[in-house]
Amino acid sequence: MRVTPGPTTARATWQQEPARAGWRVVASWGLTLALSTVPLIVIDRATGAVPGWALAAQLAIAAAFTLACLGVRAVRPLWRFGVVMTALVLLTRVVTIPPLSFPAVQAALGGSAFDRLMQPQQAERLLVAILMVGVLLLLGFGVRRSFLLPGDLHARIRPVAALGFPRADPWTRFGAIWGIGIAVALGVVQFLIARPSSAALAALVPLLPSVLVYAGLNAVSEEVTYRAAMLAPLEPAVGSANAMWQTAFFFGVAHYYGVPGGLLGATLSIFMGWILSKAMLETRGLFWPWTIHFLSDVVIFGFIAMATVG
């Protein structure tokens, strides 16, 4: 009897923690914490600034971790994770990429103050994402194992009863509800904080094409750099659950200095990171995490755009 394949189930895509992976879990969490924004936040709060040696120390820790993995059998499967994190710290915190300002691109999108602010920033982030893809490919993960394809859009979720999904619903439902829900909630909170005037809202309208373009670019860059790049080497070494939470934590605490920021912003971003990591792991692709991320970025970038017009 021939069976027609259906949507991917969460059970089929979820990798359990490998046997005798205890030391790998401890080591990978240790590196994730050490290279996260947490040490930088602590130093900043204590001294009022983040000294250059702190970033250099994180790079040294990442490099030392990689070498230790090559020499210690119990944690050897993590050496690729060490390489990825070394590259991530190097590209995002240590190396200063020259400004990638393209006036012609800015002009094509309207040439506003918002374009002049966002275009160089998004070009730099896109370059980092491309370089991280190169690292993954050099490490032998390939396009599919690096989560760089759209994935199974109709894959079923691992049930989350606490969020109102006790059954294995398809991602077409879960992703749409949470993608729109998070964006709307974020918009309401930002509106109550910023209290934009009717003039500011009117000034946003001609900037919407730029907002959509930059939100799309930012979403794909961050999903590749902070999600796919970490999940690809982590999942086979420590299992899906550990990989998901480590990636969510690393992504979330970085938003302590983001929009929204502070402890609340970081906490909300960890939850957002969990949703996005869950999407990537369960659908084995980029479409749903990018879509959910994009919707939230449209809201955030909309308020940034309004701020640039006063």
In the prediction, which pLDDT does 6 show? 52
Residue with tokens 């370089």: 131
Statement: the pTM of the whole predicted model exceeds 0.85:
yes
Q: Please name every residue paired with 160 in a beta bridge, in sequence order, or none if there are none.
A: 165
Which of 142, 149, 158, 156 is closest to 233 using CA atoms? 142
Count of other CB atoms within 10 angstroms of residue 281? 26
pLDDT single digits (tens) 216-229: 999 999 999 999 99
pLDDT single digits (tens) 109-150: 999 999 999 999 999 999 999 999 999 999 999 999 999 999
Q: What is the dihedral of CA 293, 294, 300, 306, to 10 degrees?
A: 180
Tell me the average pLDDT of the chain: 91
